[in-house]
Amino acid sequence: MDLEERVALVTRNSAEVLMPEEVRTLLERETHPRAYIGYEPSGLLHVGHLLTVSKARDLERAGFEVTILLADWHAMINDKLGGSLERIQASGSLFEPIFRALGAGDRVKFRWASDLIRTPEYWPRVIRCAKAMTLARVKRAVTIMGRKENEGDVDTAKLFYPPMQVADIFELPVDLAYAGTDQRRAHVLAREVAHHYNWPVPIALHTPLISSLKGGGRMNMDDSGLVELKMSKSDPTSCIPLPAEDAIVDERLRGAFCTAKEVEGNPVLELARDLVLPWEGHLVIDRPAKFGGRLELASSDELLSLWKEGKLHPQDLKAAVAGGIKRIIAPVNRYFAEHPKLLSAAPAAPDVADRK
């Protein structure tokens, strides 16, 4: 694979890259650079997470060594699963089989935050990172936890969370940190800390977020930086869990918000554009000849053009997305059908935030 192909794989389907020119420089210099994403284990993954799973596959194909950090201590600080490390770690044990079923290879490694924090330099590094941040900046960054910046009565440990997440990047260490756009503030802080100490500056790559299946408006950061309308397992009707029977996928997509010609805050269109089309390489719309016949779309531009012009009916798009999702998650369904005890041991998660 040549340099241009590697750059294209790393940057494709991203909402933002800080900074694009640094990706090229890194790949020119390193055959196997290092990347990471952190997840708070707090229940089953859902299809919104498939965007970050897909990016792990892209990075691996581009030659990266990818670390999936199972952020158990971060989840405990954030009160996930009642703050029980035992329950959090039971939840985190399901991540690797899901990633493997979805195609993650040997260069994707899994590591627990509880192991990372036992290294001799971790807590000194957290303190150094905190010393390079103002308290106001840390308070603004608590939105990465799915909390409001001005939320009152939070325990002091939650202020440790942003310096810890920044320290993770340097302690692993990695050349590229990636996550959904809701983690942007942590990554910007990491780049600022790196400049402060003259440490290597990590590239930050952000994947899009998928809106709640319920819809409800544009999914923008509010003044506090909190994304209110993303797909979340805290509201099961807003998402499709992993694994999910075909009937569940069909049911959730049938009831999903999908107003004709509407682009902003349309979860079905987002799933088509950001998940199914890039994962499968095309989007197949099967419909009767009297309604235009079969379509095979190869680009998001083509999809968006037809959608905006009203040449795709919402029900046809929903059916196409449901079919794509069922094909994508079929290996996950098979794995848990063969290992039912793993799934039955997974703790339920009435949580607020989905990923670190």
pLDDT (average), residues 52-70:
98
What's the pTM value of the predicted model, to 2 decimals? 0.90
Under the banding of pLDDT at 50, 70 and 90, the label for residue 146 is confident
Under the banding of pLDDT at 50, 70 and 90, the label for residue 219 is low
Is 152's pLDDT higher than 70?
no
Which stretches of 30-71 are DSSP H helices? Answer: 50-61
Tens digit of each residue's pLDDT (9 = 90 or more) over 187-203: 999 999 999 999 999 99
pLDDT (average), residues 76-86:
94
Instruction: Please list the residues that pair with 179 across neighbouring strands.
Output: 206
* % of the chain residues with pLDDT over 70: 91
Q: How far is it, in rounded angstroms, from Cα 9 to Cα 59?
A: 7
- Asked which of 15-19, 66-70, 226-230, 286-290 is least confident by mean pLDDT, the reply is 226-230
Count other C-beta atoms under 10 Å from residue 86's C-beta. Answer: 11
Considering only residues 237 and 320, tell me which one the structure prediction assigns the higher pLDDT. 320
- Asked which of 136-140, 225-229, 323-327 is least confident by mean pLDDT, the reply is 225-229
At 233 the pLDDT is 65
pLDDT (average), residues 159-183:
97
* % of the chain residues with pLDDT over 90: 81
At 225 the pLDDT is 43
Contact by Cβ (8 Å): 65, 254: no
Considering only residues 353 and 97, tell me which one the structure prediction assigns the higher pLDDT. 97
At 134 the pLDDT is 95
- Asked which of 14-28, 110-124, 152-166, 215-229 is least confident by mean pLDDT, the reply is 215-229
Which stretches of the chain are DSSP H helices? Answer: 3-11, 20-29, 50-61, 72-77, 85-92, 95-101, 113-116, 122-131, 135-141, 157-171, 184-197, 246-254, 267-271, 277-280, 300-308, 314-338, 340-344
Instruction: Enumerate domains of the chain plus CATH numbers.
Output: 3-207 (3.40.50.620), 236-344 (1.10.240.10)
pLDDT (average), residues 257-273:
95
pLDDT (average), residues 211-227:
62
| Residue 83 DSSP symbol | G
At 354 the pLDDT is 43
Q: How far is it, in rounded angstroms, from Cα 55 to Cα 50?
A: 8
Tens digit of each residue's pLDDT (9 = 90 or more) over 268-309: 999 999 999 999 999 999 988 888 899 999 999 999 999 999
